[in-house]
Amino acid sequence: MSVYAAVDLGASSGRVIAVRIDGDRVSVDEIHRFANRPVRAAGTLHWDILALHQGMLDGLRLAGPVDSIGIDSWAVDYGLLDGDGRLLGNPVHYRDGRTSGVAERMTGELGNAELYQVTGLQFLPFNTIYQLLAEPLLDRAETLLMIPDLLTYWLTGSRGAEVTNASTTGLYDVRTGAWASGLARRLGIPSGVLPELRPPGSPSGTLRAEIAEETGLSQATPVTAVASHDTASAVAAVPSRTDRFAYISSGTWSLVGIELPRPVLSEESRLAGFSNETGLDGTIRYLRNVMGLWILQESLRTWGGADLPALPALPALLGAAEQAPPFQALIDPDDPAFLPPGDMPARIAAYCERTGQRPPDGRAATVRCVLESLALAYRRTIDDAVRLSGQEVEVVHLVGGGARNALLCQMTADATGLPVIAGPVEAAALGNALVQARAQGVVTDIRDLVRRSEQPVTYLPRGDQNAWTRAGARLPSR
Ligand code: LFR
């Protein structure tokens, strides 16, 4: 039996998960979960990177001996190291306001169309490239490390840039699979700060002596570069039987798209807001960021008054939402008003007033509004992905925490008219661990193993398709 530690960092919590593989049997054990609480200091929203590092070390100690360790997290954010390898400043949260207006100012120097031709990334104000243009510490930096690469460096002393995460920076050339150094230079970003690229599956060193001591693990424990962008790990673990599938990686964000062998870099695709992110083994994750369960999480936080979502209240609310009348108020989840943290129920009400709708009356109606709107945004995104890529889709795989939300899964099946296969919930951690296992020769076909070891739930479309089509027409197209 082999054991892999998957460190999986999400927007509100981090986890260390032990994945055990014994032939066809795969077990997933959450060893340690710790809060990821962003900290606002002197007007800037930061990640508490030291708490994340410590949470990871605590989890590794609890996990005991493992065959390898891999780290994945959200994308786009980074730390800067000085010439002595010391962290310069605390990594800033992508939801911080420092990037507002940056992209607009930059467009004079380099058009969005030209940028898309190279990077294939949808315009998101928080992409690393825009953060770097607002970064006061850049000229003192020797090395830029994305969050999982920074934590890897702290574990092993080895520096590198894992490819799937590098592909979300806006400084990666999706056509050639190399850093877009020319583009970086033109923007005044010293390309020397960008470390050597590492494909998922490659070794990232072994533990520093001090880390081995603190965790009780052998110093020889290898750290493996996995698909370190959480979405890339999640898509790697989609248990598809066919190429004709769409995926929804549903957590704080919903990443909705298809997998392609080559990027789609057309002007139409850019205008529709699609990204070509790099996936495992050079695949392209052709997807759009849909604002996701974030709107629901922030609503729960507002109602609960707590710092973390009041999860115990969720099942009852979902039950009430199911009974609430359909298609009352609808929002466009991708409206920029929903990006920053804050009082989502108030923003939903404001959105409704702005668009001539009556705001949802009470919590159940608000939850129904969010879920129906999300299902419609999924439908819109899958339709666009099919149209722009020419790839047909016959099934939707919904993975990540959202796969637990039966109402959302059923609505997605109803809205898209396609079967929805929900699960695994732990897709990112599984993808993370199975890339490690493959690198050690323990696994050959990751998706095949997920298919044989997991029991996903299938939701078939029901109800009146035309009602969803009419409701979809109430949302703006992208
Ligand atoms: C999901 C995710 C998305 C990325 C967003 C910000 O956790 O990684 O793929 O666009 O977070 O980094």
pLDDT in tens, 60-96: 999 999 999 999 999 999 999 999 999 999 999 999 9
Instruction: Give me the domains of the chain, ranges plus CATH numbers.
Output: 2-228 (3.30.420.40), 229-478 (3.30.420.40)
pLDDT, one tens digit per residue, over 324-341 is 999 999 999 999 999 999
Which residue in 199, 151, 201 sits closest to 437, CA to CA? 201
Which residue in 159, 150, 167, 166 sits closest to 80, CA to CA? 150
pLDDT, one tens digit per residue, over 256-300 is 999 999 999 999 999 999 999 999 999 999 999 999 899 999 999
Give the amino acid at 220: A
Best of 47, 74, 99, 168 to mutate for ligand 1, by most ligand atoms within 8 A of CB? Answer: 74
Q: Are 289 and 277 in contact (CB under 8 A)?
A: no
289 lines ligand 1 (CB under 6 A): yes
Residue 306 has pLDDT above 60, yes or no: no
Q: Are 368 and 408 in contact (CB under 8 A)?
A: no
| Nearest CA, atom 2, ligand 1 | 74
**How far does residue 65's CA lie from ligand 1's centre (Å)?**
30
pLDDT, one tens digit per residue, over 154-181 is 999 999 999 999 999 999 999 999 999 9
**Hey, what long-range contacts does 31-36 have (CB within 8 A, 24 or more apart)?**
31/5, 31/59, 31/62, 31/63, 32/58, 32/59, 32/62, 32/63, 34/58, 34/59, 35/308, 36/9, 36/10, 36/11, 36/12
pLDDT, one tens digit per residue, over 185-200 is 999 999 899 999 999 9
* Total count of residues recorded for the chain: 478
Q: Are 378 and 256 in contact (CB under 8 A)?
A: yes
Give me the pLDDT at residue 293, please.
94
Question: In Å, what is the CA distance from 440 to each residue of 13, 203, 320, 432?
Answer: 28, 10, 48, 13
Residue 460 has pLDDT above 80, yes or no: yes
pLDDT, one tens digit per residue, over 110-156 is 788 999 999 999 988 899 999 999 999 999 999 999 999 999 999 99
Average pLDDT, the chain: 95
Catalytic annotation, residues = 230
Residue 478 has pLDDT above 90, yes or no: no
pLDDT, one tens digit per residue, over 20-44 is 999 999 999 999 999 999 999 999 9
Which residue in 212, 221, 219, 291 sits closest to 254, CA to CA? 291
Give me the pLDDT at residue 92, please.
98
Give the amino acid at 401: G
Report, as an integer, the average pLDDT of 412-436.
Answer: 98
CA–CA separation, 408 and 406 (whole Å): 5
47 lines ligand 1 (CB under 6 A): no
CA–CA separation, 232 and 119 (whole Å): 17
230 lines ligand 1 (CB under 6 A): yes
**How far does residue 252's CA lie from ligand 1's centre (Å)?**
8
Best of 13, 78, 96, 168 to mutate for ligand 1, by most ligand atoms within 8 A of CB? Answer: 168
Q: Which ligand 1 atom is nearest residue 75's CA?
A: 12
Which residue in 367, 377, 289, 379 sits closest to 329, CA to CA? 367
Q: Are 411 and 398 in contact (CB under 8 A)?
A: no
Q: Are 312 and 304 in contact (CB under 8 A)?
A: no
315 pLDDT band, cuts 50/70/90, is confident
CA–CA separation, 10 and 96 (whole Å): 17
Which tokens hold the place of 71?
A: 């780290």
**How far does residue 312's CA lie from ligand 1's centre (Å)?**
25
Give me the pLDDT at residue 109, please.
65
CA end-to-end span of the chain: 48
Give the amino acid at 195: P
Which residue in 235, 281, 247 sits closest to 444, CA to CA? 281
Question: In Å, what is the CA distance from 171 to each residue of 80, 98, 168, 233, 352?
Answer: 16, 19, 8, 21, 37
291 lines ligand 1 (CB under 6 A): no
Q: What is the DSSP string of 302-361?
A: HHH-SSS--GGGHHHHHHHHHHSPSSSS---TT-GGGSSSS-HHHHHHHHHHHTT-PPP-
- Interface confidence (ipTM) of the complex: 0.97
Give me the pLDDT at residue 307, please.
46
Give me the pLDDT at residue 309, please.
46
255 lines ligand 1 (CB under 6 A): yes
| 346 φ/ψ sector (left φ>0, alpha ψ -120 to 50, else beta) | alpha
Sign, Cα dihedral of 147, 212, 236, 423: negative
pLDDT > 90: percent of the chain: 91
Q: Are 377 and 341 in contact (CB under 8 A)?
A: no
Q: Which letter does DSSP use for residue 109 in this model?
A: T
Residues forming beta bridges with residue 81, ordered by sequence position? 87, 143
78 lines ligand 1 (CB under 6 A): no
